[in-house]
Amino acid sequence: MEAINAPKGVPDYVPPRSRDFYTVQEQLSAPARLSGYEYIELPVFEATELFERGVGASTDVVQKEMYTFTDRGDRSITLRPEGTAGVMRAVIENRLDKGSLPVKLWYRGPFFRAERPQHGRYRQLQQVGVEVIGSVDPIIDAEVIAIADQSYRSLGLQDFHLDLTSLGCSNCRPTYRVLLQEFLKRCDLDQETRARAELNPLRVLDDKREVVVAQLVNAPLMIDSLCEQCQQHYDEVREYLRVFGVSWNETPRMVRGLDYYTRTTFEFVHPGLGAQSGIGGGGRYDGLMSELGGAELSGIGFGLGVDRTLLACEAERLTPLRKGILDVCVIPVEAESRTQGVALLVQLRRAGIAADICVDNRSIKSAMKVANNTNAPLVLIIGPDELETQSVIIKEMSSGDQQSVLAEPTTLIPQLQEMLSTLREEQS
Ligand code: HAM
């Protein structure tokens, strides 16, 4: 039979790299959990209309990249391309917006975009995200950005930067839009770009073609057209960012791929990744809740790309990621010691020590090879002598030192725990 491959653009994470993927996912969500954000688990598919209304009908995501199908009940369903619209839907449906505000949530999981696959751009992508709903306080903007910043730093990443700007609000953006459209009318643009300028002029600022870029040097920028409230809000966000110890680049030409952003908007960029350098991004969204049938509440959040953050860690050669997942490997040397080995395994696991046992009656040499491959720092060997004296040999893999210890759990477990904590201290 012919083997079957994964669909194009869909990554597998298999051991040992899956360890790194898991570590990245855990670390990216740790700062949000430490800051009191509650977990929200969301469906992977939703009504198509949610994304059409939430993400914006003129975006590439909605126009070209959604996995949409009709279900058996003739409903149009879409695999979620992003998380924010789904969180809003769930908040409204479960009336979280009627409780104590702001609501602070975090989520993680796969999202789906039918993009052209390349290094760092996948059709199934993984994100860790947060959303804070029901506060316009600039402390929240700074907190959300600082949490993202801390998430990357906790992995040891250093070569990334934060791009920041304000996209204004429903007061000042329409005036700016007209200003920009008037400017674009005076430029020499092709038919398609003209059409884009009519529909979504901000997106023209994102055009990378030299002929266009050259003409846009003097284009008016949103940041120079902010209304007084937006200006003050942005000033305060930056003031609090300083207190949080986060630095940034002013990026007035930033264009995000989703339509809902207002005011504070940001992206984390890692230059080591080539074309797909955005490792995370987010911003404030004022009209999204009401657009989806909820109250007039503002929100802000981010989505951090787990796949790309892993690539960034690899680009920075962050080797501490790759640690083994086992503490101890048990080797029963003879068939007779297998029962003793399993009994020991049970004791270890109950005590919270990550342990595995060598199976299939291997020779001691071959079993040691298997144990070595697991990266477990300690190996417990039970041979005929140990069976007779009811003891085990503890072998420390890094030094090769070994000692015989009574197999009695009240002696053995504390000793192993102490050895493991010393080894961890030495490693860190
Ligand atoms: P986004 O910028 O579309 O924002 O995606 C966030 C991150 O997901 C990107 O910075 C990137 O790291 C990763 N990502 C996006 N597309 C791909 C892909 N095809 N392959 C690999 N990684 C990808 C959002 O999704 C918003 N919902 C974020 C947000 C939350 N804004 C406010 N709240």
- The domains found in the chain, sorted by start residue, are 17-172+226-320 (3.30.930.10), 324-427 (3.40.50.800)
pLDDT of the residue at 216 = 94
Q: Is 83 in the pocket of ligand 1 (CB under 6 A)?
A: yes
CA separation, residue 230 to residues 115, 154, 235, 417 (Å): 34, 32, 8, 55
Q: Is 305 in the pocket of ligand 1 (CB under 6 A)?
A: yes
Q: Write down the mean pLDDT value for the chain.
A: 95
Q: Per mean pLDDT, which range of 49-53, 323-327, 366-370, 384-388 is the poorest?
A: 323-327
Q: Looking at ligand 1, which residue's alpha carbon is closest to its atom 9? A: 280
User: What atom of ligand 1 comes closest to residue 123's alpha carbon?
Assistant: 19
Q: Is 281 in the pocket of ligand 1 (CB under 6 A)?
A: yes
CA of 336 relative to ligand 1 center, distance in Å? 55
CA of 215 relative to ligand 1 center, distance in Å? 29
Q: Is 89 in the pocket of ligand 1 (CB under 6 A)?
A: no
Q: Looking at ligand 1, which residue's alpha carbon is closest to its atom 8? A: 305
Q: Is 391 in the pocket of ligand 1 (CB under 6 A)?
A: no
pLDDT digits (tens, 9 = 90+) for 217-245: 999 999 999 999 999 999 999 999 999 99
Mutate to test the pocket of ligand 1, among 37, 308, 311 (most ligand atoms within 8 A of CB): 308
Q: Is 122 in the pocket of ligand 1 (CB under 6 A)?
A: yes
CA of 85 relative to ligand 1 center, distance in Å? 13
Mutate to test the pocket of ligand 1, among 21, 87, 127 (most ligand atoms within 8 A of CB): 127
pLDDT digits (tens, 9 = 90+) for 138-149: 999 999 999 999
Task: State if pTM tops 0.85.
Answer: yes
User: What atom of ligand 1 comes closest to residue 127's alpha carbon?
Assistant: 8
pLDDT digits (tens, 9 = 90+) for 189-218: 999 999 989 988 998 998 889 999 999 999
pLDDT of the residue at 208 = 87
User: What atom of ligand 1 comes closest to residue 279's alpha carbon?
Assistant: 12
Q: Angle between the 138-154 and 228-244 helix axes, to the nearest 10 degrees?
A: 40
CA of 246 relative to ligand 1 center, distance in Å? 21
pLDDT of the residue at 259 = 85
pLDDT of the residue at 303 = 98
User: What atom of ligand 1 comes closest to residue 258's alpha carbon?
Assistant: 3
pLDDT of the residue at 355 = 97
Q: Looking at ligand 1, which residue's alpha carbon is closest to its atom 6? A: 303
The pLDDT of 91-113, averaged and rounded, is 97
pLDDT digits (tens, 9 = 90+) for 329-364: 999 998 999 999 999 999 999 999 999 999 999 999
Look at residue 324 and tell me whether its pLDDT is greater than 80: no
Mutate to test the pocket of ligand 1, among 125, 298, 311 (most ligand atoms within 8 A of CB): 125
Q: Is 104 in the pocket of ligand 1 (CB under 6 A)?
A: no
Q: Is 260 in the pocket of ligand 1 (CB under 6 A)?
A: no
325 band by pLDDT with thresholds 50, 70 and 90: confident
CA of 397 relative to ligand 1 center, distance in Å? 42
pLDDT of the residue at 125 = 98
pLDDT of the residue at 255 = 87
Q: Is 138 in the pocket of ligand 1 (CB under 6 A)?
A: no
CA of 136 relative to ligand 1 center, distance in Å? 23
pLDDT of the residue at 196 = 86
426 band by pLDDT with thresholds 50, 70 and 90: confident
User: What atom of ligand 1 comes closest to residue 305's alpha carbon?
Assistant: 12
CA of 380 relative to ligand 1 center, distance in Å? 45
The pLDDT of 390-404, averaged and rounded, is 96
Look at residue 320 and tell me whether its pLDDT is greater than 70: no
